[in-house]
Amino acid sequence: MSSYTELLKTRGVARIIAAQLTARFPFGMLSLAFLLHIEHTYESYGVAGLVLAALSIGQAIAGPLTSRLMGVWGMRPVILITMIICASAISVIALVPLGIAADMAVAFVAGLTMPPIQPAVRTIYPKMVNSKQLTPLFSLDASAQEIIWVLGPVITTFVSVQIGTVWGILLAVAFLVGGGIWFLTSPELGRVRIPRSKRKLGAVLKKPPVLLSTIVGFLLVATCAAIEAGVVSAFGEGGAEAGIVLAIFAVGSLVGGLSLGHRPIGPWALARRMAIVFVGTAVAAASLNIWWLSIVLFIAGVGIAPALAVMFSIVSASVRFSDTAEAYGWVGTGQLIGAAVGSALAGFLIDGIGPSGAFLVAAGLAFFGFLVPLFGKRFHPDLRGRDASPLPDTEPVTVVG
């Protein structure tokens, strides 16, 4: 724990973590907020699914594109422009009745202009701490982001049900703008400039660790999405039990991140952490009892933040600094697609055989999430005793003191 205390005392680390978490909070709110609002408006989950699909497609396309633009225009201009457009598009869906096709088009724009906060902060981290602190910082960040995925849906459901679905969406906009401004005004954004990449868009995926992290990230987040759908289905949207189980699931991730995050990353690191996720998930369908699910999902959660930290670290250590933002953009795109696919597959199985179907889907996804790094071990860098910072570019990187 002393390594994390040291980290938080490092200049700017606590501030930048808090600012980026606030700016990214809508990521844990918008899907559910849109689902509740569109279903309420059109009385159709099918239509809500179409709007969410448009949002997800936009986000998936945007990941590497807006991340790469930060190397051309700078982080602040790209984040500011996308934040304004995205907030406007989301507000339009909440306030203006447009019709199904127009709602889908606006949702696509909202997804396409989702501010690239995560790639930006992952790119900044290596310039804020020394090489020994980088992997623990990635782990701390991955652990802290559980706040987004636990509190986001809970707050959205409460506001949407108790006050109104319009206010559920507008609250997400408030976090987007407020957190975005906080992040934009952080001095760290002015101290680091991302060099313009000389490679073609997508070339970074030729780096095996980037592709490995993108695929495993897809499977890991798809697993989590299926678990969330299964828990909500088992206990009902308004049941306190669902919130309790999901909170314990997140606490498991937090505990895992803090306890395993400082450990050296060898070639088996990602497979071992995904094995923990699989073991906990594989037995979840045996019973829908709250105590059983709380225990096994806590175990599954222990592997989540450490697995994410490994992915962030091996990507960082495998690409040039000018390519880091785009690389994290691709990893983020994989995770976004995973969230959509995991929810959709779980939904089909829930309709077919009940809540246990979602946990069967999650177990299958987690199993593949374990197999991919197991058989892809030769593509996994050995970072034991090695610097996890990005490779230097051939031209000097501007760092303003």
Between CA 362 and CA 228 the distance in angstroms is: 10
pLDDT of residue 401: 43
Q: Which domains does the chain have, with CATH numbers?
A: 12-379 (1.20.1250.20)
Instruction: Report pLDDT digits (tens) over 337-373.
Output: 887 788 778 877 887 888 888 899 999 999 999 999 9
Q: pLDDT class for 180, splitting at 50, 70, 90?
A: very high
Q: What is the pTM of this model?
A: 0.79
Q: Cα–chain-centroid distance for residue 284?
A: 23
Helical H segments across 96-145, by residue range: 100-112, 117-124, 131-144
Mean pLDDT (the chain) is 83
How large is the angle between the packed helices 13-24 and 146-162, nearest 10 degrees?
Answer: 40
pLDDT of residue 126: 79
Whether the predicted pLDDT of 19 surpasses 70: yes
Q: What is the DSSP string of 147-171?
A: HHHHHHHHHHHHHHHHT-HHHHHHH
What percent of the chain has a predicted confidence (pLDDT) above 90? 26
pLDDT of residue 64: 82
Bridge partner list, 399: 192
pLDDT of residue 150: 65
Q: How many CB atoms lie within 10 A of CB 42?
A: 16
> Picking from 180-189, 209-218, 258-267, 271-280, which range would have the lowest pLDDT averaged per residue?
258-267
Quick one: average pLDDT of 176-190?
89
pLDDT of residue 392: 61
Instruction: Report pLDDT digits (tens) over 211-255.
Output: 999 999 999 988 988 887 788 778 765 556 777 887 788 888 888
Quick one: average pLDDT of 150-179?
85
Those residues whose C-beta lies under 8 Å from the C-beta of residue 256, and which sit 6 or more positions away, are 143, 273, 276, 301, 302, 303, 304, 305, 306
Higher pLDDT pick, 172 / 38? 172
Q: What is the DSSP string of 355-395?
A: HHHHHHHHHHHHHHHHHHHHHTGGGS---TTS--SPBPPSS
Q: pLDDT class for 82, splitting at 50, 70, 90?
A: very high
Helical H segments across 185-268, by residue range: 187-191, 208-235, 240-260
pLDDT of residue 33: 82
